[in-house]
């Protein structure tokens, strides 16, 4: 199957700093990518839809100025957590799929963010 | 997007067949029923997808009755490594492929 790669796999940062997470589709192009957040023992929560060449679409309750998404190419989307605080500590996961009906989604391995 | 309901958890033993049911009473005509598996600290992985009747692949089988209001994921002869959370989703049959995850079923396989 296709491969989606996230970088870094884990990151620790200080409160108030910003962290950038990359999501790459390694062997296919993706017009749309998705970003999720997952807290311990909970399900994945969709944060936003990343659209290549246009603004991201955020889910209700997700601060767009807090979680900056850039999708500058068909193989790369980035999520920047700005002015991170301990409550932003979570597991962030991206996904991408081929642009066809009912296509399966390929997920990255996730990024564990810890804000201290 | 149709809401799905599945058991929070299930227990099994190695070598047994496990059937996880999912209810999706409000599934739309163009929704596909899709199952994902997630291990701790990893992204989910696609298992199987179907529209109706039965679908089988090297990992699992998916049974969908004619009314499509429920589905059953069948894992044959589970092993300890099948311990994971299994998510049932109704995926809109379009290009967006936006996935909304429910609570999932935590399957614990014991020796």
pLDDT value for B56: 96
pLDDT tens-digit readout, A15-63: 999 999 999 999 888 888 999 999 999 999 999 998 888 899 999 999 9
Residue B32: closest CA among B85, B89, B73, B104: B89
A105 secondary structure, DSSP code: P
Region for residue B79 given its phi and psi (left: phi exceeds 0; alpha: psi -120 to 50; beta: otherwise): beta
A64 with A90: CB under 8 angstroms? no
CB contact (8 A) between residue A101 and residue B46: no
Residue B78: closest CA among B2, B4, B14, B5: B14
A92 with A114: CB under 8 angstroms? no
pLDDT above 80: residue A98 = no
CA distance A100 to B94: 7
Instruction: Enumerate the residues of chain A whose CB falls inside 8 A of the CB of residue B96.
Output: 32, 49
Q: What is the mean pLDDT of chain A?
A: 92
pLDDT value for B95: 45
Instruction: Enumerate the residues of chain A whose CB falls inside 8 A of the CB of residue B104.
Output: 43
* Residue ranges of chain B with per-residue pLDDT less than 70: 1, 94-97
């Amino acid at each position: 199957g296709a491969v989606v790669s996230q970088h870094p796999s884990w990151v620790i940062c200080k409160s108030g700093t910003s962290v950038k997470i990359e999501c790459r589709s390694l062997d296919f192009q993706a017009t749309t990518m998705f970003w999720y957040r997952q807290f311990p023992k909970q399900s994945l929560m969709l944060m936003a839809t990343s659209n290549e060449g246009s603004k991201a679409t955020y889910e209700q309750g997700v601060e767009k100025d807090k979680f900056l998404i850039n999708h500058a190419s068909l193989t790369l989307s980035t999520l920047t957590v700005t002015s991170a605080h301990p409550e932003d500590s979570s597991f962030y996961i991206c996904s991408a799929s081929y642009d066809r009906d009912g296509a399966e989604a390929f997920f990255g391995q996730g990024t564990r963010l810890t804000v201290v | 997007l149709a809401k799905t309901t599945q058991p929070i958890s299930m227990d099994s033993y190695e070598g047994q067949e496990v059937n996880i049911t999912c209810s999706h009473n409000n599934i739309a005509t163009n929704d596909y029923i899709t199952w994902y598996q997630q291990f701790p600290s990893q992204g989910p992985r696609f298992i199987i997808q179907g529209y109706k009747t039965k679908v089988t692949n090297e990992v699992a089988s998916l049974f969908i009755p004619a009314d499509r209001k429920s589905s059953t994921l069948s894992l044959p002869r589970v092993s300890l490594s099948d311990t994971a959370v299994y998510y049932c989703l109704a995926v809109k049959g379009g290009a967006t492929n936006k996935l909304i995850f429910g609570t999932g079923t935590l399957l614990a396989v014991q020796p």
